[in-house]
């Protein structure tokens, strides 16, 4: 399989809702395999299809749920259910990053638990439920598929700080709308 370039904030693919998958084709199976390779090369815990230039409603994840355990999978046509009320923002504990905003971390309050339902590549029902980092990942990746980046959900001074950081990076101004995780790490972009 292959590592694909990851789109960076400012790329229009990140700001448009994705399209429901009607039929899983060989091309979609290749896309998913490439997404896993790309996520691994970028050292991410989740990746949505529009982050690699596809308009399809699919995400993959490989997320630690404890010190010794990870959960890995994919969801086609995910539907998100946020569970529980978000706790007040803890700027030290609620940091979030994104492969499409590489090298930046900002605090964002999320619901403490989340459930995603959808299907796998064979049409079997998939239900993924989690708390902590997995809940954050499920919400984050589904947001991508709905056309939102986590920085879009920031508020107040944190939102201003994020805007300034993105401006300082100069990605859009310099015409940089993708990065290649096979040749660079997010911090190098």
* Distance between CA atoms of residues 40 and 80, nearest Å: 24
Sign of CA dihedral 168, 173, 175, 178: positive
Helix H, strand E, coil C: the string for 14-83 is HHCCCECCCCCCHHHHHHHHHHHHHHHHHCCCEEEHHHHCCCECEEEEEEECCCCCEEEEEEEEEEEEEE
Residue 15 marked as a ligand binder: no
What is the chain's alpha carbon radius of gyration, rounded to the nearest angstrom?
Answer: 16
CA 112 from centre of chain = 17
- Tell me if 11 sits within 8 A of 177, measured CB to CB: yes
* Distance between CA atoms of residues 22 and 70, nearest Å: 29
- Catalytic positions, written as ranges: 141
Residue 111 marked as a ligand binder: no
Q: Which residues of 31-55 are buried (b: 16+ CB within 10 A; e: fewer)?
A: bbebbbbbbebbebbbbbbbbbebe
* Residue ranges at the known binding site: 98, 140, 144
List residues forming the annotated binding site for Fe cation.
Answer: 98, 140, 144
């Amino acid at each position: 399989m292959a590592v694909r370039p990851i789109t960076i904030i400012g790329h229009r693919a990140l700001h448009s809702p994705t399209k429901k998958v009607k039929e899983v084709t060989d091309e979609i199976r290749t896309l998913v395999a490439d997404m896993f390779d790309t996520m691994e090369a970028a050292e991410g815990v989740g990746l949505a299809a529009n982050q690699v230039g596809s308009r399809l409603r699919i995400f993959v994840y490989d997320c630690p749920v404890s010190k010794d355990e990870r959960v890995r999978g994919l969801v086609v046509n995910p539907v998100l259910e946020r569970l529980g009320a978000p706790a007040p923002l803890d700027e030290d504990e609620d940091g979030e990053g994104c492969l499409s905003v590489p090298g930046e971390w900002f605090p964002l309050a999320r619901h403490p638990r989340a459930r995603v339902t959808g299907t796998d590549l064979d049409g079997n029902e998939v239900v993924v439920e989690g708390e902590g980092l997995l809940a954050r990942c499920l919400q984050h990746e589904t947001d991508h598929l709905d056309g939102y980046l986590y920085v879009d959900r920031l508020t107040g001074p944190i939102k201003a700080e994020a805007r300034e950081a993105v401006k300082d990076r100069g990605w859009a101004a310099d015409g940089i709308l993708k990065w290649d995780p096979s040749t660079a790490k997010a911090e190098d972009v």
